[in-house]
């Protein structure tokens, strides 16, 4: 009786490619993704030196505020000016008293009540004038020192703003560089996954272009001679077996 065997097979290179792709996919499924290579603080730009300087300077601005901030800007010569003015006022007072005494002597009132009253009035007026002059000097010095303190505060604030802006621009440039490095690191971490994702569909398309071939193998029936020989061999076998049993 004839025997027919039918089977399907693919070209060897197609089977090899499909198996390799499957094995690679299974390997990647078991593999941990190295997220530490493309995440973390190493990809965040820190403050620049200019920003740090601006922050440090801002913390020191408190010394330019408050009721005593002007004192550090007072002229070192202000007290000398005040002392010189006081000495001048004292000399003028002494001269005025001497003049009053001379007038009292000329009027025959030296040492009298009239001289005492005149001297008292004079000294009181001189004291008021001297106090007013010294107050004006101190007020002028205070205003000048205060203006200088304000100017210094504004200058430092302006410098701090400039440093912050320039430092911020530098940090943005550095952050852009770090972002590029981070993207490169991420691409490297997912390189195998990306490759499989790109090659897999293409390979599947190629494999689909090579459909499985069908192979049919038929075994022809034995000839009459082969059948007779088979029967003879079978008969001899049975005769031998019978002799073994009944012999």
pLDDT of residue 228: 52
For position 10, what pLDDT does the model report? 53
Question: Number of structural domains, the chain?
Answer: 2
Q: What one-character DSSP code corresponds to residue 32?
A: P
pLDDT digits (tens, 9 = 90+) for 85-134: 888 888 888 887 777 777 766 666 666 666 677 777 877 888 888 888 88
- Cβ neighbours for 173, distance < 8 A, ≥ 6 positions apart: none
Percentage of the residues of the chain whose pLDDT score is greater than 90: 12
What residue numbers bound the domain in which 90 lies? 35-189
Distance separating alpha carbons of residues 83 and 79, to the nearest angstrom: 6
Residue 196 lies in a domain: no
Same domain assignment for residues 141 and 226 = no
128 and 116 within one domain: yes
User: Which pair of structure tokens corresponds to residue 18?
Assistant: 């499909």
Helices (H) and strands (E) in the chain — how many of each?
A: 6, 2
The tokens 């005149």 sit on which residue?
118
Residues 169, 212 within the same domain: no
Q: Which of 146, 167, 189 is the C-terminal boundary of a domain?
A: 189
Q: Quick check: helix, strand or coil at residue 216? A: strand
- Same domain as 42, residue 140: yes
Query: Which residues, at least 6 apart from 152, have a Cβ–Cβ distance to it below 8 Å?
Result: 64, 73
Where is the domain boundary, 189, 213, 233?
189
With 0-12 / 13-18 / 19 or more C-beta atoms within 10 angstroms meaning exposed / middle / buried, residue 48 is buried
Query: What is d(CA 28, CA 2) in angstroms, rounded to the nearest whole number?
Result: 50
CB under 8 Å to 58, separation ≥6 — which residues?
Answer: 160
- Asked if residue 205 and residue 169 are part of one domain, the reply reads no
Its pTM stands at 0.49
Same domain (yes/no): 170, 121: yes
Same domain, 185 and 205: no
Is 169 within the bounds of a domain? yes
Same domain, 10 and 78: no
The region that residue 35 occupies, defined by phi over 0 for left and psi between -120 and 50 for alpha, beta otherwise, is: alpha
Whether 194 maps to a domain, the answer reads: no
Q: Please identify which residue in the block is written with the tokens 């300077």.
A: 57
Nearest to 35 by CA among 246, 156, 153, 193: 193
65, 21: one domain: no
212 with 170, same domain: the answer is no
Closest CA to 217 of 2, 73, 5: 5
Distance CA 211, CA 90 (A): 123
**Same domain as 206, residue 143:** no
**CA separation for the pair 99, 107 (Å, rounded):** 12
Query: What tens digit of pLDDT does each residue of 199-243 get?
Result: 666 556 655 554 554 545 555 555 555 555 555 544 444 444 445
Q: pLDDT digit string (tens) for 8-65?
A: 545 555 556 666 777 777 777 777 888 888 899 999 999 999 999 888 888 777 777 7
């Amino acid at each position: 009786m004839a025997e027919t065997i039918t089977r399907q097979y693919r070209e060897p290179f197609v089977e090899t490619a499909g198996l390799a792709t499957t094995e690679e996919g299974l390997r990647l499924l078991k593999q941990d993704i190295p997220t530490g290579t493309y995440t973390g603080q190493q990809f965040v730009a820190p403050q620049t030196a200019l920003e740090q300087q601006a922050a440090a300077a801002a913390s020191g601005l408190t010394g330019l505020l408050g009721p005593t901030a002007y004192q550090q800007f007072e002229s070192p010569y202000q007290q000398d000016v005040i002392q010189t003015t006081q000495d001048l006022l004292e000399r003028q007072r002494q001269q005025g008293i001497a003049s009053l005494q001379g007038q009292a002597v000329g009027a025959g009132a030296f040492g009298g009540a009239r001289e005492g009253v005149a001297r008292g009035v004079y000294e009181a007026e001189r004291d008021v004038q001297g106090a007013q002059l010294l107050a004006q000097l101190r007020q002028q010095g205070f205003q000048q020192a205060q203006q200088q303190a304000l100017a210094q505060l504004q200058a430092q604030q302006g410098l701090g703003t400039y440093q912050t802006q320039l430092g911020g621009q530098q940090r943005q440039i550095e952050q852009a560089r770090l972002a590029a490095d981070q993207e490169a690191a991420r691409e490297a971490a997912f390189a195998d996954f990306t490759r499989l994702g790109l090659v897999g569909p293409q390979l599947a398309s190629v494999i689909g272009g090579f459909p499985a071939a069908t192979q049919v193998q038929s075994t022809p029936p034995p000839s009459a001679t082969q059948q007779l020989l088979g029967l003879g061999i079978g008969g001899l076998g049975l005769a031998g077996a019978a002799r073994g049993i009944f012999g």
